[in-house]
């Protein structure tokens, strides 16, 4: 029934621009066995027109972390990056070819192109001479700023938050169209808050090279007025949710690191009058097997019941 109705908010692609910008990190980030000091990001700008003839644009950006999206050490990093950039550009081109003359909701534009975008990974890998095809994760990372820019443009041209555009007022199909009968009558908007929360706790990332105590800070660390050691970040910002990057293949180090983070969090937050804090840990796919993860938990519980109790979830 809704398919025959005209949706004024639907958009077509007018134009696009891409740009690669490289950012140097203030402090090296170590996760798993990877150390990252700088990151190129793909920036995408898409201009759209809705059915009312109104024109607007949106932007999307994504760091192209090749060591995470395509961790194979036998493939040259520069070649990986070249392929990822090209995949992003080719995704824009496909969008322009398919939707410069017809209108759609961003979900209905991108979903049918899923397989075609994945196929771009193989095509571009061959053209650039990559010895192995770009994995699915790498393709999705490279194309994600295009998707983000399209959703942003959709919201901006229609004068709404993009998140307001996922209900029956703006979408031709309910979720059963994409996910099956179980979702009959349901829309994405049914799973989103109707209003935004003005304050949310953030997870402060504790990289595997980050310093815990201020006495560890030395002359080689940044002197820009911002904290370096975790205890100083806690004192300054009162952060009480901490995401701890682990090595993932060194049980002793991982258990000790998690325990130390919990200890300094408890001590410093208590000084600020706060008792509660929360941890998550991330081994970035470095755990060799499930038993390793279980042994980590057993040892952590023994070494630091506090850290074990405050652990919200584990990322593999």
Same domain, 165 and 71: yes
Residue at a domain's end among 191, 218, 248: 191
Which residue, 303, 208, 312, 210, is CA-closest to 255?
A: 303
Render pLDDT for 151-164 as a digit per residue (tens, 0 to 9).
Answer: 999 999 999 999 99
pTM > 0.85: yes
Write out the residue range of the structural domain in which residue 307 sits.
Answer: 203-315
Task: Give the helix/strand (H/E) hosting 311.
Answer: strand 311-315
pLDDT tens-digit readout, 90-105: 999 999 999 999 999 9
**For 185-190, what is the mean pLDDT?**
97
**Residues 245, 257 contacting (CB under 8 angstroms):** no
- Determine the Cα–Cα distance for residues 63 and 88; give it in Å rounded to an integer: 12
Q: Residue 4 has what pLDDT?
A: 59
Q: Taking Cα atoms as reference points, which of 90, 73, 69, 85 lies closest to residue 131?
A: 73
List pLDDT tens digits, range 202-258: 999 999 999 999 999 999 999 999 999 999 999 999 999 999 999 999 999 999 999
Does some domain include residue 197?
no
Question: Domain containing 22 — which CATH number?
Answer: 3.30.390.10
Q: Summarize pLDDT for 115-130 with one digit per residue, the tens.
A: 999 999 999 999 999 9
Residues 226, 123 share a domain: no
Which ranges of the chain would DSSP assign to H, the alpha helix?
A: 66-69, 77-99, 106-110, 114-128, 136-157, 176-179, 230-237, 251-271, 290-303, 305-310
**Residue that terminates a domain, selected from 141, 161, 191:** 191
Same domain, 174 and 238: no
Please give the Cα distance from 86 to 134 (Å, whole number).
11
Residue predicted with more confidence, 27 or 239: 239
Has residue 198 been placed in a domain? no
Same-domain check for residues 225 and 283 = yes
- Averaged pLDDT, 194-203: 87
Is the model's pLDDT at 26 over the cut of 60?
yes
Question: Is residue 48 included in any domain, yes or no?
Answer: yes
In angstroms, the CA 262 to CA 312 distance is 12
One domain, residues 171 and 228: no
- In whole angstroms, what is the distance from residue 300 CA to residue 63 CA? 33
Percent of the chain, pLDDT > 70? 99
pLDDT at 315: 87
Beta partners for 24?
Answer: 38
Kindly state whether residue 196 falls inside one of the protein's structural domains. Answer: no
- Residue at 294 is within a domain: yes
Instruction: Classify 164 in phi/psi space as left (phi over 0), alpha (psi -120 to 50) or beta.
Output: alpha
Q: How many domains are contained in the chain? A: 2
């Amino acid at each position: 029934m809704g398919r025959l109705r005209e949706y004024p908010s639907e958009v077509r692609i007018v134009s696009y621009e891409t740009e690669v910008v490289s950012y140097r990190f203030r402090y090296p980030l170590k996760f798993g066995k990877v150390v990252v000091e700088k990151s190129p990001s793909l920036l995408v700008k898409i201009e759209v027109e809705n059915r009312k003839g109104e024109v607007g644009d949106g932007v999307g950006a994504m760091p192209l972390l090749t060591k995470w999206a395509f961790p194979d050490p036998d493939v040259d990093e520069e070649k990986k990056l070249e392929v990822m950039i090209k995949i992003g550009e080719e995704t824009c081109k496909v969008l322009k070819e398919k939707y410069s003359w017809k209108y759609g909701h961003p979900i209905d534009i991108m979903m049918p192109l899923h397989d075609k975008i994945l196929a771009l990974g193989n095509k571009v890998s061959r053209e650039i001479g990559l010895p192995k095809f770009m994995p699915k994760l790498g393709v999705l990372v490279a194309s994600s700023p295009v998707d983000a820019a399209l959703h942003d443009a959709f919201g901006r041209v229609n004068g709404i938050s993009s998140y307001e555009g996922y209900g029956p007022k703006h979408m031709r199909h309910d979720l059963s169209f994409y996910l099956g009968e179980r979702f009959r009558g349901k829309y994405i908007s049914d799973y989103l808050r109707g209003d935004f929360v003005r304050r949310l706790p953030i997870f402060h990332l504790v990289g595997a090279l980050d310093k815990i105590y201020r006495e560890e800070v030395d002359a080689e660390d940044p002197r820009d007025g911002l904290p370096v050691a975790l205890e100083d970040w806690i004192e300054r910002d009162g952060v009480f949710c901490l995401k701890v990057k682990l090595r993932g293949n060194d049980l002793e180090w991982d258990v000790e690191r998690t325990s130390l983070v919990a200890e300094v969090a408890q001590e410093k937050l208590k000084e600020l009058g706060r008792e509660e804090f929360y941890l998550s840990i991330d081994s970035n796919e470095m755990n060799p097997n499930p038993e390793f993860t279980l042994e980590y938990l057993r040892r952590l519980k023994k070494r630091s019941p506090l850290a074990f109790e405050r652990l919200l979830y584990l990322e593999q």
